Amino acid sequence: MEVQIISKETVKPSSSTPQHLRTYNLSLLDQLAPPVYIPIILFYSATGEISCKKSHLLKTSFSETLTHFYPFAGRMKDCFSIDCNDEGAPYVEAHVAGDMSTILQEPDIHQLEKLLPCNPHDVSPEVSSQVIVAAQVNYFDCGGMAVSVCIWHAIADASAVASFLTSWAAIARGATDEIEGVIFDCTSLFPPQDMRSFSLHNFLKEDLLSKIMLKRFLFDSSKLADLREEVGNGPCLERPTRVEAVAALIWGAVMAADGEENQNETAEINAATISVGLRKRMIPPLPKLSIGNAYQVAMANFSKKEKQLNYNGLAGKLHESIGKMNNDYVRKIHAGGGYFQFLRTKGEELGKNPNLMKVFGFSSWCRFPFYEADFGWGKPNWVGTALTLYKVAILIDTKDGQGIEAWVSLPKEDMVKFEQNPGICAYASFKLST
């Protein structure tokens, strides 16, 4: 597949941002976000619309969307704020020589990366020049198209990325009345902290990422229903959600692969973290379309003293950790900077004893309305991503909303073992590594 850039320009908001709104303050949850872009690609079938007409509509509506999401058109000021200076966002148009169906049938990370406006790991050497959002519209020979965005994680979680895309699509359709509550200040809930000499992002180091393989594992609605029945067969959890069932299976398979590879280096604790959205859990609820990071990381632990590893037990641990994330609990742990101090202390403990804990992370993007992004020529046929992290699984809905696509990042030697896991082979469809 060959991708040729047709044009590249900087698109600015259709209206200038008022002076009193020129600074957007980051919360602690924004500060803790990994220094990466969140990449999303929406694929659309061929329609009778002329490409140049689509091009004009997408570009003008993108500019209007930046007016509503005005911090996205600014630049990072420092670790506490964004300068909403209307500098604009890179906007790329490209021609793709190849059939879109080949990508949809067998998504390949290297092909998907070509459809993005930037590398998700592009970090500017100067904070003040860090672009917040970039977009690329790809036109295929077959008449299909792929719209992709990369949005800097410090100002947007996956829910906010979905809000941006569905708002862009709504503006393209002329439905601007659907957009409200985009800008919401979370700093009173999650006060920012001095982040100097603090980092939890070892999974982003280049020496680790070079050894990582990212693959898609498809759990269709039928297989996922069977998996939920098996995972729910036990005393710990009777009816797991789709996410809990898939996460339990993957967590167990990862532990098995890691244990087989490193039999003499078993950690005291194997932990699974999972991002839990807070917009609906807080009282009062946070605005549905609000930008920023509004999720809390829940953690479930499996100690090596627990001899029996089964899916029902793992799902029960995940369910319990997720269930804690209510309004009272979140407010309590963040009171007086307590959560940040906890993270700092835990980081220091792990630094002194790396074998104390091994962590695998889950980021669930399920139930986010990516498949609702209709620019006027129908909803996406498929939604994909291309974000490689260290020992992380990103979970995304299938188009019917009943299945899950898991994008799993693992060291290459662990991925081979992971693919051979009986549970993964039984419930997931995937292409074997060569």
SS3 label, residue 72? helix
Alpha carbon separation from 257 to 89, 141, 196, 216, 271 (Å, rounded): 42, 42, 35, 17, 15
Taking the C-alpha atoms of residue 343 and residue 52, their distance in angstroms, rounded to an integer, is 51
- Choosing from 86, 108, 122, 374, the catalytic residue is 374
128: CB partners within 8 A, 6+ apart: 75, 76, 77, 83
Q: Which helix (H) or strand (E) holds 171?
A: helix 158-173
Helix (H, G, I), strand (E, B) or coil at 381: coil
Residue 153 known to be catalytic:
yes
Q: Which residue has the tokens 């379309």?
A: 289
- CA 426 to chain CA centroid, Å, is 26
- Annotated catalytic residue, options 153, 157, 258, 334: 153
**Residue 168 corresponds to which tokens in the numbers above?**
């862009």
Decide if 314 contacts 251 (C-beta within 8 A). yes
Question: Chain centroid to CA 77: how far?
Answer: 24
Nearest alpha-carbon partner for 147 in 54, 74, 217:
54
Angle at 394 between CA 297 and CA 216, to 5 degrees: 160
SS3 at position 311 = helix
- CA pair distance 60, 295, nearest whole angstrom: 32
- By annotation, the residues acting in catalysis are 153, 374
